[in-house]
């Protein structure tokens, strides 16, 4: 085997988004496309000689081929060791766990998260740093800069690695180790939660639960932990076998795409507790019997009950939420007298706060919650947290939520997604709204009057770095809030996300449907941003 230096030309569309580079599979299959981005990443790392690199992905189409390419390039770039999840699979939180446990210089995670998979669908790649978290903006900007000037990449000729057999191989001077994808992560979960308490809960025949792995990467982890270690009935984990196209479904754990789970939770004999995770295992949806638990409420509930969990009985340093996330957790943090931080969307912003010891728990409204046990959002961790709370309090999930509302009040929240809209027109809409911001205060839309409006600008309290234009915020005089931003997680067109929240302390008004409770905000947002005019859409594609 010899090192080969391949001449190449830069592509003009390799800027990483909030979660790495995501494109259609056919784009990644272009000659040199994946290789250019991988080499740009290695160039950003600097001296790779002797370092440990972790590699894995969510098992979607093109995952295995991409791993073989990365192994050859890692060897040609001098890495001392490459550690790969068996079957080329590692959930995103498990990848973070492995990077941290084995002191790797970082890892390459192959995933497009909750986006569909298959030959005609999406693929993604991102670099996680030595802390196990997504690369900070400084690093992603360096990677991007390298993609614009790259002229060559390094690889070698070698036989394919057997990705399914645990063991070691050698490529050039690089050790390549195939590891059990599940055990390290499952052991970490067992160190955080009271498995005895949860085992007792799941042995109670009156407590029936269901976990929908959505034919995605979390299946093997959930089977190992829920069924094997905690003793849940066989079949508790549905759609447990990962597939390259996620069973033809959309691996996004929300009320629309996890419809099979929702039907079980709202049927004639509903389960006591239900949950789902996404394509790469970092998101979660949790449900009580006939009861949807909003991710914003979920984060607040986890903080309020963290003292019940063995791994957090020593206390919580602080909490953080993404800016668009509802403000329920702020009220719990105030009651506990701990810091609460507001960050832009993107898990990398939480990583700085965790590494500095400023926060223990964090979360986003987009079904992501996590803690400082890793540096990624963690879907199965959140499900286990809920099960541990239910076991400790000996109450159904919906009762726990309603008790929380009674104590703290309810922050009504909803997100409206307008998917696949024309990107240019969506950008025009946001620019037009941004131009109106200085004059919005005092204007009335329907029955609401605007109190203030701005374009969110974040200054990191750890390193002082700044992130501008992170979402338009509009506050109304009745305490309501509207947030609008364009998502960076899709691969075609644009997704307009509009967020609405309003606090309601009146116990008599805590049981309303969120769409009804927030109707005046929704109407005002459409009027002030001219959503139909710019997007051609009267109603959203997905409501969460």
- Coil, strand, or helix at residue 459? strand
- The CA-atom distances, in angstroms, between 233 and each of 186, 205, 211, 225, 261 are 18, 10, 11, 12, 16
Tokens of 410: 């309810």
Calpha distance 387→231 (Å, rounded): 13
Percentage helix, strand, coil for the chain under 3-state DSSP, each rounded to 5: 35, 25, 40
Q: Where are the beta strands (DSSP E) in 356-409?
A: 361-364, 368-371
Q: Where are the beta strands (DSSP E) in 352-464?
A: 361-364, 368-371, 410-421, 444-445, 448-455, 458-459
CA dihedral 83, 85, 86, 90 (to 10 degrees): -170
Burial of 313 (0-12, 13-18, 19+ CB in 10 A): exposed
Tokens of 158: 């070698």
Q: Residue 31 contacts by C-beta under 8 Å, 6 or more apart in sequence?
A: none
Calpha distance 154→340 (Å, rounded): 45
Strand duo 319-322 + 361-364: pairing: parallel
Calpha distance 125→106 (Å, rounded): 13
Calpha distance 210→159 (Å, rounded): 42
Tokens of 544: 């969460």
- Coil, strand, or helix at residue 38? helix
Tokens of 150: 């790259």
Find residue 474's DSSP bridge partners: 453, 482
Is residue 499 within 8 Å of 443, Cβ to Cβ? no
- Among 91, 111, 113, 371, which one carries the catalytic annotation? 113
96 is catalytic: no
Calpha distance 432→206 (Å, rounded): 55
- The CA-atom distances, in angstroms, between 248 and each of 191, 239, 257 are 35, 12, 11
Calpha distance 205→168 (Å, rounded): 44
Burial of 255 (0-12, 13-18, 19+ CB in 10 A): middle
Tokens of 458: 């974040």
Is residue 294 within 8 Å of 364, Cβ to Cβ? no
Is residue 68 within 8 Å of 155, Cβ to Cβ? no
Question: Which residues are marked as active site?
Answer: 113
């Amino acid at each position: 085997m010899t090192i080969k230096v391949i001449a190449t030309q830069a592509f003009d569309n390799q800027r990483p988004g909030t979660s790495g580079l995501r494109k259609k599979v056919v784009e990644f299959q272009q000659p040199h496309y994946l290789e250019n981005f991988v080499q740009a990443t290695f160039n950003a790392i600097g001296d790779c000689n002797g370092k440990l690199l972790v590699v894995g992905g969510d098992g979607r189409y093109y995952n295995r081929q991409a791993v073989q390419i990365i192994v050859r390039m890692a060897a040609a770039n001098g890495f001392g060791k490459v550690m790969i999840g068996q079957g080329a699979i590692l959930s995103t939180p498990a990848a973070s766990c492995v990077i941290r446990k084995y002191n790797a210089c970082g890892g390459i995670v192959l995933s497009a998260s909750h986006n569909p998979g298959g030959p005609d669908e999406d693929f993604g790649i991102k670099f996680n740093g030595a802390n196990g978290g997504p690369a900070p903006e400084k690093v992603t900007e360096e990677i991007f800069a390298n993609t614009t000037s790259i002229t060559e990449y390094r690889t070698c000729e070698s036989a394919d690695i057997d990705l399914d057999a645990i063991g070691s191989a050698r490529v050039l001077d690089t050790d390549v180790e195939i590891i059990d994808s599940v055990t390290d992560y499952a052991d970490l979960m067992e160190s955080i939660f009271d498995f005895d308490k949860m085992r007792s809960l799941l042995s109670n025949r009156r407590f029936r639960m269901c976990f929908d792995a959505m034919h995605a990467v979390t299946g093997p982890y959930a089977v190992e932990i829920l069924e094997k270690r905690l003793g849940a009935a066989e079949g508790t984990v549905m759609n447990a076998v990962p597939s390259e196209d996620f069973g033809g479904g959309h691996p996004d754990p929300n009320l629309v795409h996890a419809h099979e789970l929702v039907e079980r939770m709202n049927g004639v004999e509903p389960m006591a507790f239900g949950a789902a995770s996404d394509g790469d295992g970092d998101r979660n949806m949790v449900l009580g019997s006939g009861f949807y638990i909003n991710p914003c409420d979920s984060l607040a509930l986890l903080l309020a009950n963290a003292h019940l969990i063995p791994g957090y009985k020593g206390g919580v340093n602080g909490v953080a939420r993404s800016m668009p996330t509802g403000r329920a957790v702020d009220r719990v943090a105030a009651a506990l007298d701990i810091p609460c931080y507001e960050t832009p969307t993107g898990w990398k912003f939480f990583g700085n706060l965790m590494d500095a010891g400023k926060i223990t728990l964090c979360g986003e409204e987009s079904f992501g919650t996590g803690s400082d046990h890793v540096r990624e959002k963690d879907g199965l961790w959140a499900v286990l947290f809920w099960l541990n709370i239910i076991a400790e309090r000996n109450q159904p999930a919906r009762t726990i939520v309603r008790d929380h509302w009674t104590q703290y009040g309810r922050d009504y929240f909803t997100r409206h997604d307008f998917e696949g809209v024309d990107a240019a027109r969506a950008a025009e809409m946001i620019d037009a709204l941004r131009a109106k911001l200085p004059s919005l205060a005092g204007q009335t839309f329907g029955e609401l009057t605007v109190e203030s409006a701005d374009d969110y600008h974040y200054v990191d309290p750890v390193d002082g770095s700044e992130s501008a234009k992170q979402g338009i915020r509009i506050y109304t005089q009745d305490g309501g809030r509207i947030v609008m931003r364009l998502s960076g997680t899709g691969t075609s067109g644009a997704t307009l996300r509009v967020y609405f929240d309003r606090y309601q302390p009146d116990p008599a008004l805590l049981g309303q449907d969120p769409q009804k409770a927030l109707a005046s905000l929704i109407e005002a947002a459409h009027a002030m941003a001219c959503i139909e005019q710019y997007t051609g859409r009267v109603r959203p594609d997905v409501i969460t």
